[in-house]
Amino acid sequence: AMCATDRCFNKGEALSNLFRTIKVLPVERGAGLEQKYMHHAIHKLDSGDWIHIFPEGTRHPGGQMGSLEPGIGKLILGAKIPPVVLPIIHINMNKVMPKGSSIPATGNRVTIVVGDPIYFDDVVAEIKHKGESLQLYNKIIARLAREMKKLYEIAMEKHRLFELGLDDSGGPVPAAP
């Protein structure tokens, strides 16, 4: 995963060591796309590792989906082999871990929906003709945003049904054992 240095690495030595131990990569907010942390993340991708990122760069009040940051484009275009993006939407995490909190709040229902893989080989192929550019980053962001928006709508409907005690087909959710 990638996490902002001010969120995960500047909150004391114990927390910083925990995040490093579980292989969280730092990223410096506002330091731009050429920062050393982005290059380190690309190296991880080139080594065959996966990276969990939050392409919006932050959590949004009310749990709405925000706009995506260009860092996702930099990671995809910078890798030697185009990584496959597996979109994951979670609903209600803003209540579990509100901005400013360091301890998760319990008693909240969270809905997680995993989408189909998204491939960007066609966009990466354009680098050979046009070179890496903000225009290509934006093309990646637009495709990913479209797919995430569809997934967000599915997740919201699943969450709404779950809150009503219904499963995906509208029937009652079975009681936990």
DSSP for the chain?
-EEEHHHHTSS-HHHHHHHHHTTPEEE-TTS-TTSHHHHHHHHHHHTT------TTSS--GGG---PPPTHHHHHHHHSSSPPPB--EEEESHHHHS-TT-SSPPSS---EEEE---B--HHHHHHHHHH-S-HHHHHHHHHHHHHHHHHHHHHHHHHHHHHHTTB-TTSSBPPPP-
Q: What is the C-alpha to C-alpha distance for residues 28 and 5, in angstroms, rounded to an integer?
A: 6
Say if residue 120's pLDDT is above 90: yes
Q: pLDDT for 66-86, tens place per residue?
A: 888 888 888 998 999 889 999
Per-residue confidence at 177, pLDDT binned at 50, 70, 90? low
CB 15 within 8 A of CB 8: yes
| pLDDT for the residue 43 | 92
| pLDDT for the residue 125 | 86
Per-residue confidence at 61, pLDDT binned at 50, 70, 90? low
Average pLDDT in the 92-118 region? 85
The verdict on pTM exceeding 0.85 is no
Half-sphere exposure of 92 (CA within 13 A, CB side): 17
Q: pLDDT for 11-46, tens place per residue?
A: 778 878 888 888 888 888 888 888 888 898 999 999
Per-residue confidence at 147, pLDDT binned at 50, 70, 90? very high
